[in-house]
A and B are shown apart, each in its own frame.
Chain A
Amino acid sequence: MSTLTAYVNGVSFWAPRLPGWQIAAPVLRGEAAAPLQPAPRPSPTLLGPTERRRAPDTVAIALEVAGRACESAGADPKELPSVFASTHGDLAISDYMSETLARTPTLISPIRFHNSVHNAAAGYWTIGTGCYEPYTALTAHDDTFGEGLLEALTQAACGDRAVLLAAYDIEARGPLATIVSSHGIVGAGLVVSPHTQASSVARIRWRTRRGGDRTVALECNAELVAGNAMAACLPFFEALARAERRTVCVGLSPTLSLELAIDFPDVEHPDEG
């Protein structure tokens, strides 16, 4: 198949020791040390004070990275279709639902039930921003980041417009944590578009490729998100931070990967635009 081109016009990142792209980027470049103290979970300012306190971790992290990615792209959230990608969804609510169903099923909280759907964060995002554009919410187990990015790039190419990606996973709780492993909170956001603009961070030329190739992040960076189910997003963000021309492969399935040739035309040749 042919190669398609897209631009990264907005970027965001959050992990307990990399709370925000401004902090994460120099760490991923090897120019700064990560803060030793983990940051408290982000507070979703899109929600009212009560809802903000009650928001599940998935909603808090998704709204944080979605909002920051739009800010960085200078984009109005109302105007962007969006892709929400999470490997496991809200593991804490799954634990609550399963535990309550085992003991007192008729006492299930209606709010926790509607927050248990995989698209809860996307729902809160579109409600909070007043966005009528479509969203999707998806998972592909170990390849969730890759499938989320592919869907965002595909929508951007088909619709000839900018698309928001928010990818995130949270910590497993209770008995579920003995089987499904995920530690800490990690979120990553992108605004991708077929068109470059002043805020463009990078150009990507992308295609799918047979085989299970996956680029691995530097060990010193990988340990900062180790154990989280969304850790597979890191090599791509490491490449963005380092602003070096390189090719990154992320998984789409055990037998297919997404090949992303990343370069920085504005950085390398500022006059070419």
Chain B
Amino acid sequence: MAVALRERRSGLRPNDFGDSPLPTWIGRVPGVEAVALPDHLANWDCRNNRLAWLALTSDGFLETAAAARARYGADRIALVMGTSTSSIGATEEAYRRLLPDGQYPADLRRPIVHTPHSLGDFVRAALGLEGVAVTVATACSSSAKIFAQAERLMRLGLADAAVVGGVDSLCGSVLFGFNSLELVSPEPCRPFDRARRGISLGEAGGFALLERDGEGGPWLLGYGESSDAHHMSSPHPEGFGARLAIQGALTRSGLTPDAIDYINLHGTASQKNDEVEARLVADMFPTRTLASSTKGWTGHTLGAAGIVEAVIAILAMDTGLVPGTLNAQELDPACGPQIRIGNESADVRFALSNSFGFGGSNCSLLFGKARHE
């Protein structure tokens, strides 16, 4: 991911998902179809859990989780997953392949992949964890809110560590659903561009191990959660709920806006989200803060966006590479000087990541290279 960000190489491609693809671009993960789950996990087989497995077996995460299990005990590690549609793609497939008598085809008669906890149950089994195991589904804020939930569980001593993760995969529901709301772009998404034409949908999986008492950073320093109380599929026009979430993250961390070096924005490239979010950033942060949307690389990965963008914010702290806004050519006039098109180099000590979702659910996460005293 770090290389793709540096080389400004997008994962978006013309939509080739399903039998009658809409004219749009998607962030499809290559090779998901070819992933084979181990035999003992075959009961959970579906696109979403294959994508989860691909992520679990990347960057040594299985080994990291196994070492944590040995260190803390399987029942002392909480599992908090986030997803929007989980494995609804398996249910869609069953309906496409119904037998003449209305029954599911034999290979899809597995109840666990037709319910939203499919993801959490799969990862619990895959990692051999025996503690709290829950799936959060608050649309596009899901895998940001899991950091907050995990922190609370550790704070009360209900767990010593937590595996958090977000996985969402392409499916008919989201492609045709967002299309019905006229939010899907016919071209690769251009976040914050004055001529943006909507979102590009993507899929992704990401995991992180959170420890209450770790040896080194990065650290989760704060989070803020709020509701818009405005509309099911449209943000609050003044970004009231989003502002509360950002302020909440700042307050919890004891930091002020001028400490924030980088903000990974929600920046979906929808007309309304980007306008509201751009005004909010211009109003709340000093000109030195860098901000960008990375959805030109990944597309909008919905319930996985929170953790994908948390990882990007942490990469910026690790590498000093601050990604710009891929595909944007001319910024919307609502944008302040914070929002950048090109990549930059900077010492990022404190980074914020925004996730705002359907149903007016907002979450901002604040990470630090070092613990802020």
Could you say which residues of chain A place their CB within 8 Å of the CB of B231? 127
Q: How many B residues touch A, CB cutoff 8 Å? A: 74
Q: Which residue of chain A has its CB nearest to the CB of B129?
A: A253
Q: Which residue of chain B has its CB nearest to the CB of A135?
A: B227
Taking a contact as CB atoms under 8 Å apart, the answer to whether A123 and B361 are in contact is yes
Binds A, one of B48-56, B59-67, B176-184: B176-184
Could you say which residues of chain B place their CB within 8 Å of the CB of A144? 117
Binds B, one of A172-180, A197-205, A260-268: A172-180
Closest CB in chain B relative to A241 CB, distance in Å? 27
Closest CB in chain B relative to A116 CB, distance in Å? 7
Could you say which residues of chain A place their CB within 8 Å of the CB of B109? 179
Decide if A227 is an interface residue (CB 8 Å cutoff): no
Could you say which residues of chain B place their CB within 8 Å of the CB of A151? 134, 149
Beyond A101-B95, A137-B136, A158-B156, whether A110 also contacts B227 by CB under 8 A is no
Could you say which residues of chain B place their CB within 8 Å of the CB of A97? 88, 92, 172-173, 177
Decide if B225 is an interface residue (CB 8 Å cutoff): yes
Binds B, one of A14-22, A65-73, A87-95: A87-95
Closest CB in chain A relative to B107 CB, distance in Å? 12
Mark contacts of B80-123 with chain A using CB atoms, 8 A cut-off: 1 yes-contact digit, 0 otherwise: 00001000100110111010001110001111101111001100
Taking a contact as CB atoms under 8 Å apart, the answer to whether A114 and B176 are in contact is no
Decide if A27 is an interface residue (CB 8 Å cutoff): no
Partner of A134, one of B104, B130, B227: B227
Taking a contact as CB atoms under 8 Å apart, the answer to whether A175 and B104 are in contact is yes
Could you say which residues of chain B place their CB within 8 Å of the CB of A129? 229
What bracket does the count of chain A residues touching chain B fall in? 35 or more
Decide if B152 is an interface residue (CB 8 Å cutoff): yes
Mark contacts of A179-214 with chain B using CB atoms, 8 A cut-off: 1 yes-contact digit, 0 otherwise: 111000000000000000000000000001010000
Partner of A253, one of B133, B176, B360: B133
A106 to B23, CA, bound (A): 12
> Measuring CB to CB, which residues of chain A are less than 8 angstroms from any residue of chain B?
1-2, 4, 87-89, 94, 97-99, 101-102, 105-106, 108-110, 113-120, 122-124, 126-127, 129-141, 143-144, 147, 150-151, 154-155, 157-158, 175-176, 178-181, 208, 210, 252-256
Taking a contact as CB atoms under 8 Å apart, the answer to whether B361 and A122 are in contact is yes
Partner of B152, one of A139, A155, A208: A155
Taking a contact as CB atoms under 8 Å apart, the answer to whether A133 and B116 are in contact is no
Taking a contact as CB atoms under 8 Å apart, the answer to whether B227 and A139 are in contact is no
Decide if B244 is an interface residue (CB 8 Å cutoff): yes
Taking a contact as CB atoms under 8 Å apart, the answer to whether A132 and B114 are in contact is no
List B308-350 residues whose CB lies under 8 Å from chain A.
none
Mark contacts of B140-174 with chain A using CB atoms, 8 A cut-off: 1 yes-contact digit, 0 otherwise: 00000100010011011110000000000000110
> Nearest 7 pairs between A and B by C-beta?
A123-B359, A118-B137, A134-B225, A113-B177, A98-B95, A255-B130, A126-B227
Could you say which residues of chain B place their CB within 8 Å of the CB of A106? 22, 176, 179
Mark contacts of B222-237 with chain A using CB atoms, 8 A cut-off: 1 yes-contact digit, 0 otherwise: 0001111111110000
A268 to B53, CA, bound (A): 53
Decide if B28 is an interface residue (CB 8 Å cutoff): no
Partner of B102, one of A109, A175, A255: A175
Could you say which residues of chain A place their CB within 8 Å of the CB of B156? 4, 154, 157-158
Could you say which residues of chain B place their CB within 8 Å of the CB of A158? 152, 155-156
